[in-house]
Each structure stands twice: as structure tokens, then as C-alpha cells.
């Protein structure tokens, strides 16, 4: 095709060619946002794994102090600490690489903004050799390889347990582009957008943290359990009276049966910790409030030597405060009204019949059911005062008003952590359980979430994720789950539920480490 002779037409054709080239290099905002979503999930999962690792290391320190487990803990605790140090060094190295990559992509230190769609920054930093680039891909590969080698070298039993299942996989992902199959760094970072390269680096950090978690958990397990001293614990809770008049003292005694100091009970009453006396009993003393029915929540937490786990018991101590006139208002559940629920209450006028009573509420509405029973609908958290008028005299009964607590997201019976791959795959979706709530029949339905699969099984594709609408795994989620194997990690985040008060997004993130 001959070039046009007219200068104006030549300029138009040249501008068209430039525009076409720019469009070919453009990375859509949808793709960039998808990478940012995965990167956020990976970083959240890393924080969760780090918290779990710190808890296990603290437990090893306690086991080292115990004469029954000192010898084993003295052997395995240093190995767990070495695993932590190996992981921390590599994790920080990659964190420094992330900053260097952002700087290659024109990072503005004042705003933190960089060119997320830059296709050359990762190539210069990891692929191209000096003096054109920095060629740090080989160095990154070696650091990841060293992490795996050092962890397996900690102990022969660790090497035997994790030789084939440690999440760090350095095989070259397969690609239809022959050029990207030349070496490891090229396959991951050649012409990769900056935000995608950052996500890949977060994936390597996730592999490192998962590897650290597996080794520390193995060391903790090898220490073993404390010998059984007692095989059953029973909470003992009592009060001096269940019917009081205003101003009278109320006293609650709480403890556990077969108490000894090694069980370390922690007792709270309505959230306030109560000190134990010499017999291991918490003695709470308070003063009865206004007329009505009340409930005190006693929470007892202790270490069960039979199971080797920290367990807890909750007991509600209920009592009634009378009125000199005989009038009282009782919540049929507890001394709390919940927004979005039908709160059943009972109102009595003492010697007066129900027809002589007029009841009002200043935060919502009362629906009479007959025989002194009402349904209270409250609107905002805080306090609701129910006024009961008999013979022209009004008595006020204050109630706390709360939102229904958020549910706990779960897959099957697990809320995250280590689980066998087969057990995880047998589940149908994500559910939301409202634990230890006084109302029966209150439920939340899961309406959406994001599921991410990474680690073992995802070497050729990198992390995979999908948005799921509803509670059950859809076809794409099921495909991700079926790809998982021992050594894989599954993260479920951005969980939205529908229940009392409408739709809400849960703060928690589920993170699973799949094992044999």
C-alpha cells in the first residue's frame, strides 16, 4: 500500500498507528483491580498465619517451663524459632523487592502512587541483566530455594515430613509463549504489569509463611501433650438469691470442679475479670438495680489437661429484682433488647390486672400479645426505657439495646487453620454460625464471598480466585477447590451475610492450610 502524498493525511495515519500501539499496551482497570483484590487477600492471609505462628511459639515457651514437657520442648522450640527466623529474613527480602519494584514504576513517596500498569518495571528489575536492568530474578529464585533447603535441613524428621509438600514450588509455569519458558524469572516477570508482579511477590511471601507454619506446627506437635490429671471439668456457679429488692446485695460464686493451679482458670462476669481466692473461686459482689428480670453472663476459661486445649464454659445466672408496688417488666430472654428481633417481654401490674396497665417504650414500639406479654421492637443501640403506668403512677424500666452480634464464617465445622485436603473438598460452601447467642432460631445467610486458591497445585497458573454469589460453591469455585492438594492454601474473604438488621460485610477472613 502506497503512502499518501498529502502531509495532513500522513500525519493522521501516523497518529492512528500510535493510538493503536497505545491501545495494545493498555491493561484494563478490571484486570488491575482483580490483581489488587488477590494481593489484598494474600496479605491478609499472611497476617493471620503470622498470628497463629506467634501463638504456637508462645505455647512452646510455656511447655519448656513445664517439667513434664521441658526435655522435648528444649529440643523442638529452637528449631521452631530457627524456622521463624529463616521465614522472616526471606519475607523482609521480598518486602524490600516490592518497594524497589514500585520505585521502578515511578513511585511518588508523598502519595504512594505508582504506575500499576507499567509493563516494563518488573522486566527491568527481574529479567534484564545489567547494565540495562538489575536482573534480580536469579537472586530471588535462589533466596526462595534457600528457604526450602534450610527448613528441610532443620531436622531429618522435618525433611521426611515435608520433602514433597512444602508449599514453596520453584518449577517454571507452563506458557503458550515460548519466549517466557526460557527461564524462571522470564516466565513470571517478563512484560508483567507492576500490580501483577507485586501480587506474585505476595504469593511467594504466602508460600514462605505457610512453610513456616507447617514446620512450627510440626515442632509443637512433637513436644506432645501433658499427662492427664483430670478428665472432666464442671463449672460451679451459684448466687445468694434469685429474688432481690432494690439496693440489696447480689453475690455470685463461680469456679470449676477438680480445680488445680495448672488448669489456669480465667473467670469473667459480664466481661469483667474476677480474681480467684485461695480455693480457686471467683467471688463477685454487686448491688441490685431497678425492678425487673436480669441475667449475668459467667464465662469460665481453663486449660483442659485431658485434651491439651483451652476450653470454656458459659453460664447465665438469672435473678429478679422486685418492686415495692409489685410492678415488674421482664425480658423473656435476657435484660437486653436486640435491634431487628422480636423481643418478647412480660409486664405485670402487681395486684392490678392487665387491663389497668399502660406500657410505652421510648426507643421503638410495643406490640401487645395478651396476658401481659408484649413484643418489643427497638430501633437504635443504646438504652430503651419501658414505662409502665398503673393508677396514674409510672415506673420506668431501663433495658440495654444492642445489635445482634456478627456470625462466625465457617466451612463445615472449621473456621480456618490446618485441615486435610479431602475433608475440605467434601464441603459444599460457606456458612455463618451465630455462636452462644441467647435467642434461638436467629440465623444469617451467606450472600457472597471471594475464594482464592494458591500454593501447591497452582504452580502453572498462579493464584486463582472467583467471586461467589450465595453460600454454595459455584462451578469456578469448585474447580479451584478440586485443583487443591496437600500444600495448597485456600483464602475466603469479603464475606457478606444477610440477617437481622439487613446485609452486613464480615470483618473476618478464612484461611485454610490443606494437608494430607
Which grid coordinates belong to 349?
401490674
H/E stretch holding 52: helix 29-65
Q: Rounded to the nearest 5°, which phi and psi values hold at 89? A: -60, -45
Mind spelling out the 3-state secondary structure of 218-273? HHHHHHCCCCCCCCCCCEEEEECCCEECCCCEEEEEEEECCCCHHHCCEEEECCEE
Supply the pLDDT for residue 472: 94
- Alpha-carbon gap, residue 442 to 434, rounded angstroms: 8
The alpha-helical segments, DSSP class H, found in 66-171 are 70-104, 121-122, 137-152, 156-162
CB 166 within 8 A of CB 148: yes
- Alpha-carbon gap, residue 291 to 477, rounded angstroms: 55
Q: Rounded to the nearest 5°, which phi and psi values hold at 228? A: -70, 125
Higher pLDDT, 131 or 143: 143
CB 378 within 8 A of CB 337: yes
The pLDDT > 90 percentage for the chain reads 33
pLDDT in tens, 382-408: 999 998 888 788 888 889 999 888 899
pLDDT in tens, 260-315: 555 567 888 887 887 776 656 777 777 766 666 677 788 888 766 555 567 788 87
Higher pLDDT, 244 or 224: 224
- For the chain, the C-alpha Rg in angstroms (whole number) is 31
State the distance between the two ends of the chain, measured CA to CA, in whole angstroms.
64
H/E stretch holding 212: helix 194-223
> How does residue 194 score in pLDDT terms, banded at 50, 70 and 90?
very high
H/E stretch holding 361: strand 358-361
- Whether pLDDT at 351 is above 80: no
Average pLDDT, the chain: 80
Angstrom distances, CA of residue 456 to CA of 53, 59, 169, 411, 489 = 20, 28, 7, 20, 8
- Alpha-carbon gap, residue 116 to 113, rounded angstroms: 8
The pLDDT > 70 percentage for the chain reads 76
* Closest CA relative to residue 196, chosen from 297, 268, 105: 105
pLDDT in tens, 467-487: 999 999 999 999 999 999 999
Starting from the edge strand earliest in sequence, which strands make up the sheet with 249-256, in order? 235-239, 249-256, 282-287
| 41 CB neighbour count, 10 Å cutoff | 25
| 147 CB neighbour count, 10 Å cutoff | 24
Q: Give residues with Cβ within 8 angstroms of 282, minimum separation 6.
A: 253, 254, 255, 267, 269, 274, 275, 276
Which grid coordinates belong to 479?
474447580
* Closest CA relative to residue 349, chosen from 401, 385, 400, 387: 387
* From 110-119, 134-143, 342-351, the region with the lowest mean pLDDT: 342-351
CB 491 within 8 A of CB 396: no
- Alpha-carbon gap, residue 433 to 44, rounded angstroms: 22
Supply the pLDDT for residue 188: 86
- Alpha-carbon gap, residue 360 to 394, rounded angstroms: 10
CB 497 within 8 A of CB 444: yes
pTM over 0.85: no
CB 171 within 8 A of CB 157: no
- Alpha-carbon gap, residue 381 to 404, rounded angstroms: 10
* From 9-23, 55-69, 123-137, 147-161, the region with the lowest mean pLDDT: 9-23
Helix axes 137-152, 70-104, angle to 10 degrees: 170
Q: Rounded to the nearest 5°, which phi and psi values hold at 321? A: -105, 120
pLDDT in tens, 176-187: 555 545 688 888
CA–CA–CA angle 300, 301, 302 (5° rounding): 125
Q: Give residues with Cβ within 8 angstroms of 421, minimum separation 6.
A: 484, 485, 486, 488, 514, 515, 516
Amino acid at each position: 500500500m502506497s503512502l499518501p502524498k498529502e502531509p495532513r493525511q500522513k500525519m493522521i495515519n501516523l497518529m492512528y498507528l500510535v493510538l493503536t500501539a497505545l491501545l495494545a499496551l493498555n491493561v484494563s482497570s478490571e484486570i488491575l483491580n482483580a490483581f489488587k483484590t488477590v494481593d489484598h487477600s494474600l496479605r491478609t492471609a499472611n497476617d493471620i498465619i503470622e498470628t497463629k505462628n506467634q501463638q504456637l511459639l508462645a505455647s512452646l515457651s510455656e511447655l519448656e517451663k513445664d517439667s513434664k514437657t521441658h526435655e522435648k520442648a528444649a529440643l523442638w522450640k529452637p528449631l521452631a524459632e530457627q524456622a521463624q527466623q529463616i521465614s522472616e529474613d526471606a519475607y523482609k527480602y521480598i518486602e524490600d523487592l516490592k518497594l524497589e519494584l514500585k520505585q521502578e514504576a515511578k513511585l511518588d513517596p508523598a502519595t504512594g502512587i505508582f504506575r500499576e500498569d507499567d509493563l516494563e518495571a518488573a522486566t527491568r528489575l527481574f529479567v534484564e541483566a545489567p547494565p540495562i536492568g538489575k536482573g534480580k530474578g536469579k537472586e530471588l529464585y535462589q533466596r526462595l530455594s534457600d528457604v526450602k533447603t534450610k527448613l528441610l535441613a532443620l531436622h531429618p524428621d522435618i525433611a521426611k515430613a515435608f520433602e514433597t509438600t512444602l508449599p514453596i514450588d520453584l518449577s517454571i509455569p507452563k506458557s503458550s509463549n515460548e519466549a517466557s519458558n526460557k527461564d524462571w524469572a522470564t516466565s513470571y516477570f517478563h512484560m508483567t504489569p507492576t500490580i501483577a508482579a507485586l501480587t506474585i511477590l505476595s504469593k511467594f511471601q504466602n508460600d514462605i509463611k505457610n512453610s513456616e507454619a507447617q514446620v512450627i506446627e510440626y515442632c509443637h506437635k512433637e513436644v506432645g501433650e501433658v499427662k492427664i490429671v483430670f478428665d472432666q471439668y464442671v463449672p460451679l456457679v451459684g448466687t445468694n438469691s434469685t429474688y432481690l429488692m432494690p439496693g440489696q446485695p447480689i453475690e455470685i460464686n463461680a469456679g470449676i470442679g477438680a480445680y488445680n493451679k495448672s488448669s489456669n482458670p480465667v473467670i469473667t462476669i459480664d466481661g469483667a475479670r474476677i480474681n480467684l481466692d485461695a480455693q480457686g473461686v471467683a467471688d463477685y459482689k454487686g448491688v441490685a438495680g431497678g425492678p425487673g428480670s436480669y441475667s449475668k453472663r459467667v464465662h469460665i476459661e481453663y486449660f483442659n489437661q485431658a485434651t491439651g486445649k483451652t476450653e470454656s464454659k458459659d453460664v447465665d445466672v438469672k435473678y429478679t429484682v422486685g418492686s415495692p408496688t409489685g410492678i415488674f417488666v421482664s425480658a423473656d430472654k435476657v435484660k437486653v433488647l436486640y435491634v431487628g428481633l422480636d423481643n418478647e417481654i412480660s409486664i405485670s401490674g402487681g395486684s392490678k390486672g392487665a387491663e389497668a396497665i399502660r406500657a410505652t417504650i421510648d426507643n421503638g414500639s410495643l406490640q401487645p400479645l395478651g396476658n401481659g406479654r408484649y413484643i418489643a421492637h427497638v430501633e437504635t443501640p443504646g438504652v430503651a426505657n419501658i414505662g409502665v403506668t398503673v393508677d396514674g403512677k409510672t415506673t420506668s424500666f431501663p433495658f440495654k439495646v444492642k445489635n445482634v452480634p456478627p456470625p462466625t464464617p465457617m466451612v463445615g465445622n472449621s473456621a480456618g487453620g490446618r485441615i486435610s485436603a479431602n475433608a475440605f473438598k467434601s464441603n459444599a460452601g460457606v456458612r455463618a454460625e451465630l455462636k452462644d447467642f441467647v435467642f434461638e432460631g436467629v440465623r444469617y445467610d451467606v450472600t457472597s464471598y471471594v475464594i482464592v486458591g494458591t500454593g501447591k497445585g497452582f504452580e502453572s497458573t498462579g493464584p486463582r480466585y472467583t467471586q461467589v454469589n450465595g453460600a454454595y460453591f459455584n462451578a469456578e469455585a469448585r474447580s479451584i477447590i478440586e485443583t487443591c492438594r496437600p500444600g495448597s492454601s485456600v483464602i475466603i474473604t469479603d464475606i457478606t451475610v444477610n440477617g437481622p438488621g439487613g446485609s452486613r460485610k464480615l470483618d473476618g477472613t478464612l484461611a485454610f492450610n490443606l494437608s494430607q
